[in-house]
Amino acid sequence: MNTSDISALIDRLHSCDTPTVCNAIEVAQGQRGFAGFTHRSITWAGDPDARIVGFARTARIAGATPPSDPPDDIRARRMAYFEAMNAGPRPGVAVIEDADGDAAIGAWWGEVHAQVHKGVFGLCGAVTNGVVRDLGDMPASFPVLAGSVGPSHGFVHVRDIGTPVTIFGMTVARGDLIHADCHGAVCIPADVIPKLNAALDRLFAAEAVVLDPLKDGPVDFETFTTLWADFEKART
């Protein structure tokens, strides 16, 4: 796809919720079983109707215990992380795996980092299995999908930059196209991207077979069985 087509697709994805994108991926693949999405409930720190759509910048952090590396190395790695967040295709999304997993206590995401990632690096949001804080002070236009809410940054520090990460079952490589909202996140397979617009068209047309008649009022069961049969034909 050329740049204008990608831009148009991203604009369209902002109008879709993440469940719709997951359904459209299955339509594009012609089967169920796609599993490249987050597999558990996650905290959404942002407007309920906001969407995150962009290309991943990946890193791994930890914060439950103090780092063993020298302080100068820790500071240098953090600056290298900032440089990585600032580079790459736009729009960009920070996708950050906390190596502490369910034991994560250190909030990487709070008012300062959110403002820096938005205002300096130009990113549009973040997805993490880690911790978020400063909920009342986060910039409204930088939603964060996080594993939990907590009050402290603990010993949080950068471990790795640019490597593949896994966020609650969703594996993401640098540059992958991500869609996220209050339901969770999905990593759109690269081979699906050129097919996604057509898949969305087909999905909406199939759903309209059932939904449009119901918007006019209740239908009897016999009518429903006909509509459902037509729906199943349209979506396969």
Q: Is the pLDDT of residue 2 over 90?
A: no
- Span 115-140, mean pLDDT? 97
Query: Could you read off the pLDDT of 40-65 as tens digits, one per residue?
Result: 999 999 999 999 999 999 999 999 99
- Output the six-digit token pair for 136: 């009342």
The domain in which residue 10 lies consists of 1-34+191-236
Q: Is the pLDDT of residue 3 over 80?
A: yes
**223 lies in the same domain as 152:** no
**115 lies in the same domain as 170:** yes
CA neighbours within 13 Å on the CB side: how many for 146?
23
The verdict on pTM exceeding 0.85 is yes
Q: Is the pLDDT of residue 157 over 70?
A: yes
**168 lies in the same domain as 103:** yes
Domain count, the chain: 2
pLDDT band at 15 (very low <50, low <70, confident <90, very high): very high
Rounded mean pLDDT of the chain? 96
DSSP string covering 114-126, please? HHHHHHTT----E
**72 lies in the same domain as 104:** yes
Q: Is the pLDDT of residue 148 over 90?
A: yes
- Contact in structure between 199 and 27 (CB atoms under 8 Å): yes
**109 lies in the same domain as 213:** no
- Contact in structure between 10 and 193 (CB atoms under 8 Å): no
CB atoms within 10 A of CB 126: 28
- Span 185-212, mean pLDDT? 97
pLDDT at residue 224 in the model: 96
**60 lies in the same domain as 145:** yes
CATH of the domain at 117: 3.50.30.40
Report the share of the chain in percent with pLDDT over 70: 100
**195 lies in the same domain as 84:** no
pLDDT band at 162 (very low <50, low <70, confident <90, very high): very high
**60 lies in the same domain as 144:** yes
Report strand pairing: 126-128 vs 92-98: parallel
Q: Is the pLDDT of residue 235 over 80?
A: no
**68 lies in the same domain as 101:** yes
Q: Is the pLDDT of residue 236 over 80?
A: no
Angle (CA) 137-170-132 rounded to 5° is 15
* Helix%, strand%, coil% for the chain, nearest 5: 40, 25, 35
**14 lies in the same domain as 110:** no
CA distance 42 to 60: 18
Query: Could you read off the pLDDT of 27-44 as tens digits, one per residue?
Result: 999 998 999 999 999 999
CA distance 97 to 87: 19
pLDDT at residue 4 in the model: 87
**122 lies in the same domain as 144:** yes
- Output the six-digit token pair for 122: 């130009």
- Contact in structure between 58 and 172 (CB atoms under 8 Å): yes
CA distance 65 to 159: 12
- Contact in structure between 79 and 115 (CB atoms under 8 Å): no
Query: Could you read off the pLDDT of 93-103 as tens digits, one per residue?
Result: 999 999 999 99
Phi-psi region at 33: left, alpha or beta (left = phi > 0; alpha = psi -120 to 50): left
**130 lies in the same domain as 179:** yes
CA distance 151 to 148: 10
